[in-house]
Structure 1
Amino acid sequence: MSSEGSVHLKVDGGIASVTFDRPEARNAMTWAMYEQLRAHCERLREDRSVRVVRFQGAGGEAFVAGTDIAQFQDFNGERGVQYETQIDATMQLLAGLPMPTVAVVQGWCIGGGLAIASTCDFRIATPGSKFGVPIARTLGNCLSMANIAGLVAMFGRPRVQRLLLLADMVGAEEAQACGYVLEVVAAEGIEAAAQKLCAKLASLAPVTQQVSKEALNRLLRHDLPEAEDLIRRTYGSEDFREGVTAFVAKRPPAWKGR
């Protein structure tokens, strides 16, 4: 596994910038990076001087290319349940930020990165950006019920079936056409577009934004079906162990269906 990476927070003029900084691994998230993201969200939740939060990846090749797969080598069913529960808790913290949030996507936005971007209120992206959860091809794990419900709310069930069952990727133009991405901007203009969007959001009535955002969040907080058995079965499977081993060894996995 490469370096632990870091998640930086900078606040300037009421606009906070959170940067996922591990470009040598396409900003794949380590446990330390998730901890830093949670700490930043907890701080921002209490900082009433911040009017907008933007999230971006370092290096220009990726927003976040999922979770570092090397960390899954000692997993079993119970560890899988704990991991998905922690991811859900992190996304709840992010979703609970009272101010508007913007994901600035360049390149790969995969797995955990897709969860982060989907939890933000708005997304802008470069034309070459790709969105997906290719776990049926790469790792053989699964998502939590909350994560899947969030993706269905954003993309609709047919596209989520493509993402999960076919391991397809959605390009920036398709993501914009279905409303997931607000704007597609050339790489050389993405920073200016992000600043413009954040400035507009920061200029509007914050209480109205906070109340509207909370109302929208409450619409999604209906009871979800239990899914721990599905997560435990997947992370405890031979196929999952084969997916991790194959990924680390840089070879195609040999799925056995058990």
Structure 2
Amino acid sequence: MSVAEAPAAETAPPQGAVRLTVDGAVARVVFDRPHARNAMTFAMYEELAEACGRIAADRNVRVAVFRGAGGKAFVAGTDIEQFRAFASGKDGVAYEHKVDGYVGALEALPVPSIAVVEGWAVGGGMALANACDFRVASPGARFGVPIARTLGNCLSVASLRRLSDTLGPALVKRMLLLAEMPIAEDMPAGYVTVAEDVDAVVEAMTGRLVGHAPVTMRATKELLRRLSLDPKADDVDIVSEVYGSNDFREGVDAFLSKRPPQWSGS
């Protein structure tokens, strides 16, 4: 299945679609299933993975923006109807493994990512928003994983690691055990930017990120990812790549010449 490229304004199919458009240095991904609060079907997860692959392969892209269609939800988790087919615990293990892969592909993007959250970021939607580098939310937007009072399932260690790394164990416990759904204004400082005009904030952020050194941002993201998995992670390959890059030489020359650098991403 191929990721959709038609504008999100088109009528979304019942199973939903993940739509990718690229405008210059900015990639925009829309979760398009508004009649179901953009709840993810397995087909949509596959399209997300394909979109992430295409973004990662396009060296002209400098930033990626992820958003839910309809303005009422980012993503309201995984479509629960799909769980009816589960026959044993093995199905759950396979599902969590697949979701880890999809979220991991988003987390590992070599360019900065921004989640635009209007309404709900729940369950799988919370995981996807959390995997982005930045989150911009409308006032009152809610975040959470209330599975203790809804589905009665659990998260994988990888999913818990990602949430704990960004939110801390105490808040993760409140979300998972008490099933709390805090609004954006009550989330930890620095986790989310709350704005009445989310579009203006997002455009300002993308404009700023597009002007920064792609090699530096790519290296920083990868090293932070490695560090989250292993406190003693090796960095020699990344440090060598960055200091041997054209962008490093350009940055030094531009700084000493007192001119703006012209980043190439190489």
Deviation digits for residues 205-242 of structure 1, max 9, x if unmatched? Answer: 1111111111111111139xxxxxxxxxxxxxxxxxxx
1:90 aligned partner, one-letter code:
Y
Distance (Å, rounded) in 2 between the aligned partners of 1:74 and 1:51: 40
Distance (Å, rounded) in 2 between the aligned partners of 1:3 and 1:80: 24
For the 8 Å contact 2:73–2:119, the answer to whether it is kept is: yes
- Residue aligning to 2:215: 207
- Structure ranking higher in helix proportion: 1
- Residue aligning to 2:18: 7
Correspondent of 1:145 among 157, 170, 175: 157
Deviation digits for residues 82-139 of structure 1, max 9, x if unmatched? Answer: 0000011111211111110000110100000011111111111011100000101110
For the 8 Å contact 2:96–2:155, the answer to whether it is kept is: yes
- Residue aligning to 1:192: 200
For the 8 Å contact 2:140–2:185, the answer to whether it is kept is: no
- Residue aligning to 2:181: 169
Aligned length: 218
- Residue aligning to 2:52: 41
- What SS does the aligned partner of 1:16 have? strand
Distance (Å, rounded) in 2 between the aligned partners of 1:73 and 1:222: 37
Distance (Å, rounded) in 2 between the aligned partners of 1:137 and 1:217: 31
Gaps of 5+ in 2: 1-12, 232-266
Q: How far did 1:179 drift? A: 2.4
1:137 aligned partner, one-letter code:
R
Distance (Å, rounded) in 1 between the aligned partners of 2:42 and 2:117: 22
Deviation digits for residues 48-82 of structure 1, max 9, x if unmatched? Answer: 01000000000010000000001001212001000
- 1:29-178 equivalent positions in 2, closer than 5 A: 29-75=40-86, 76-175=88-187, 177-178=188-189
- Residue aligning to 1:222: 230
For the 8 Å contact 2:119–2:138, the answer to whether it is kept is: yes
Q: How far did 1:178 drift? A: 3.4
- What SS does the aligned partner of 1:141 have? coil
Distance (Å, rounded) in 2 between the aligned partners of 1:105 and 1:198: 16
Deviation digits for residues 8-34 of structure 1, max 9, x if unmatched? Answer: 000002100000000000000001100
TM-score (norm 1): 0.82
Distance (Å, rounded) in 1 between the aligned partners of 2:109 and 2:165: 19
Larger radius of gyration: 2
* Cα-Cα RMSD: 1.2
1:184 aligned partner, one-letter code:
V
Q: How far did 1:164 drift? A: 0.5
Gaps of 5+ in 1: 224-258
Distance (Å, rounded) in 1 between the aligned partners of 2:189 and 2:147: 22
For the 8 Å contact 1:124–1:194, the answer to whether it is kept is: yes
- What SS does the aligned partner of 1:137 have? coil
- What SS does the aligned partner of 1:143 have? coil
- What SS does the aligned partner of 2:149 have? helix
2:194 aligned partner, one-letter code:
V
For the 8 Å contact 1:18–1:53, the answer to whether it is kept is: yes
Percentage of identical aligned residues: 52
Distance (Å, rounded) in 2 between the aligned partners of 1:15 and 1:204: 13
Distance (Å, rounded) in 2 between the aligned partners of 1:220 and 1:30: 29
2:102 aligned partner, one-letter code:
T
For the 8 Å contact 1:155–1:178, the answer to whether it is kept is: no
Runs of 4+ in structure 1 deviating by more than 6 angstroms, as ranges, are none
Distance (Å, rounded) in 2 between the aligned partners of 1:146 and 1:44: 23
2:113 aligned partner, one-letter code:
T
Distance (Å, rounded) in 1 between the aligned partners of 2:53 and 2:42: 17
